[in-house]
């Protein structure tokens, strides 16, 4: 008995071969006419016998198959058996409503980058992968498609394809290369999975091959130590590859901010509404600080995904409110540089972020402790250094705080007022912070001298 008799047309031969080899790798018994017909066989009688011996007629359902009289006869024969055999279309094209297939519940394999998980739906439960059968399938691919042999041989018998030869992988046909990468990734006695995912990172942008290994690798990689996902998705991709790239990014746990940043930067403007929503979810959940590449991703999202500003704005506002930019000078500089560029380019998008930063600096400047006022002035300096149009607004907030009631009774209020006014003045003019510091010192010495003189006069009286 066979598990599957595969019915297909010559136009779908490559897909049929791949399906047969992959399912055989799970220990299923397959019958594919080109592999098992012999010279002298009576075609009709042989095929009828094999269909009768198979539990399921698996049809590679495409437009070519729908127009094939031979495929129609194979389906009709399977239906006439007693009892009728199961007919399962594997839809590689959208022909679900064609009369030949409309009465059969099939499997959607119209996205070639999702063919592997589609085939898993044909299994009757968890199955062990057969190393011997997968290796036999790989050997057959090498014989039929020598251009795929490079990656198979280099991974099975060495450390993989060298970086200088990696570009040669991008010209290989999709189905043989995708089968090779998937099979190599699943070989229980094969090369390390990280090595296969690394090769897939080069083939995926060019042809889509390797999407399934990348998706699985994304869920098991070591964060911060693996740039494979960034290599695969952090570049400009064809529109046909965007959904697969988003699935790969979604599989990363925790999120790979480097990959996410590159993907948004290069592809954000090309995403449709559903794709933007999926990417935004990866950006805003789970909550994380803006360190490393999260800030880059948020900036890229604001600049490219114009229809989704509110979600990204809330992310920026949360970071500002939580003080994530207060103590890290590098993050603070990058925040203000992004805000300065955004206010010049798309002010309507960035204005809510600017308002949040203004309110945050105003709150810091009005607190009684010296460290908070110092952080407020640090924001003012960062804005001035970035050439931000927000500089004057922040200077106003700091200066207003210097004379506010919140500072009443603060022993160092006068000194802090001198500090705030000096830096606000230089923020508006030459950004000479050394001169601002000297001005503070001179003014404080003069103030101290004046206090001493007043005290002496009071003592003399």
pLDDT in tens, 111-158: 999 998 899 888 887 788 899 999 999 999 999 898 899 999 999 988
Of 120, 148, 168, which residue sits at a domain end?
Answer: 120
386, 320: one domain? no
Of 270, 295, 324, which residue sits at a domain end?
Answer: 324
Domain count, the chain: 3
264, 333: one domain? no
Instruction: Please indicate, yes or no, if residue 291 is contained in any of the structural domains.
Output: yes
Of 72, 103, 120, which residue sits at a domain end?
Answer: 120
458, 357: one domain? yes
Residue matched to tokens 């409503």: 97
Helices (H), 386-432: 391-402, 413-428
Query: Which residues in 56-65 are b (16+ Cβ under 10 Å) and which e?
Result: bbbbbbbebb
Range of the domain at 7: 2-120
What is the model's pLDDT at position 273?
93
371, 446: one domain? yes
What is the model's pLDDT at position 408?
54
286, 373: one domain? no
268, 340: one domain? no
Instruction: Please indicate, yes or no, if residue 181 is contained in any of the structural domains.
Output: no
What is the pTM assigned to this prediction? 0.86
226, 265: one domain? yes
Instruction: Please indicate, yes or no, if residue 448 is contained in any of the structural domains.
Output: yes
Instruction: Please indicate, yes or no, if residue 158 is contained in any of the structural domains.
Output: no
315, 342: one domain? no
Asked if 358 contacts 376 with a C-beta cutoff of 8 angstroms, the reply is no
309, 346: one domain? no
343, 315: one domain? no
The residues of the chain scoring below 50 in pLDDT are 37, 410
Asked if 220 contacts 247 with a C-beta cutoff of 8 angstroms, the reply is no
Instruction: Please indicate, yes or no, if residue 159 is contained in any of the structural domains.
Output: no
312, 333: one domain? no
Asked if 241 contacts 268 with a C-beta cutoff of 8 angstroms, the reply is no
Instruction: Please indicate, yes or no, if residue 307 is contained in any of the structural domains.
Output: yes
| SS3 category, 108 | strand
């Amino acid at each position: 008995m066979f598990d599957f008799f595969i019915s297909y047309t010559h136009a779908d031969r490559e897909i049929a071969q791949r399906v047969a080899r992959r399912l055989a790798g799970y220990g299923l018994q397959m019958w594919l006419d080109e592999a098992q017909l012999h010279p002298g066989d009576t075609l009709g009688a042989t095929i009828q016998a094999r269909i009768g011996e198979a539990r399921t007629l698996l049809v590679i359902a495409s437009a070519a198959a729908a127009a094939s009289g031979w495929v129609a006869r194979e389906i009709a024969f399977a239906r006439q058996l007693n009892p009728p055999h199961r007919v399962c279309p594997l839809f590689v094209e959208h022909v679900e409503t064609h009369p030949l297939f409309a009465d059969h519940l099939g499997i959607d394999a119209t996205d070639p980058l999702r063919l592997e998980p589609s085939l898993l739906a044909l299994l009757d439960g968890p199955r062990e992968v057969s190393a011997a059968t997968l290796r036999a399938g790989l050997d057959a691919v090498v014989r039929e498609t020598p251009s795929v042999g490079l990656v198979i041989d280099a991974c099975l018998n060495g450390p993989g394809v060298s970086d200088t030869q990696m570009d040669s992988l991008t010209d290989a046909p999709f189905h043989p290369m995708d089968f090779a990468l998937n099979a190599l990734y699943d070989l229980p006695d094969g090369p390390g999975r990280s090595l296969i995912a690394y090769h897939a990172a080069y083939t995926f942008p060019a042809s889509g091959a390797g999407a399934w290994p990348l998706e699985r690798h994304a869920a098991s990689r070591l964060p911060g130590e693996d740039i494979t996902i960034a290599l695969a998705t952090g570049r400009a991709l064809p529109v046909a590859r965007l959904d697969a790239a988003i699935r790969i990014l979604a599989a990363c746990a925790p999120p790979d901010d480097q990959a996410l940043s590159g993907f948004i930067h290069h592809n954000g403007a090309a995403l449709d509404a559903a794709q933007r929503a999926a990417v935004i979810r990866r950006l805003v959940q789970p909550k994380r600080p803006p360190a490393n590449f999260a800030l880059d991703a948020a900036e890229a999202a604001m600049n490219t995904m114009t229809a989704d500003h509110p979600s990204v704005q809330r992310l920026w506002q949360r970071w500002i409110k939580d003080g994530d930019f207060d103590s890290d000078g590098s993050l603070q500089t990058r925040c203000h540089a992004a805000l300065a560029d955004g206010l010049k380019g798309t002010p309507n998008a960035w204005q809510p972020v600017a308002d949040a930063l203004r309110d945050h600096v105003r709150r810091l400047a009005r607190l009684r402790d010296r460290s908070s006022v110092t952080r407020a002035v640090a924001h003012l300096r960062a804005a001035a250094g970035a050439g931000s149009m927000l500089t004057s607004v922040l200077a106003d907030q700091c200066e207003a705080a210097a004379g506010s009631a919140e500072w009443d009774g603060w022993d160092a209020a006068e000194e802090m007022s001198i500090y705030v006014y000096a830096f606000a003045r230089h923020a508006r003019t030459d950004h000479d912070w050394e001169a601002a510091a000297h001005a503070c010192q001179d003014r404080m010495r003069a103030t101290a001298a004046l206090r001493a003189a007043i005290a002496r006069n009071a003592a003399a009286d």
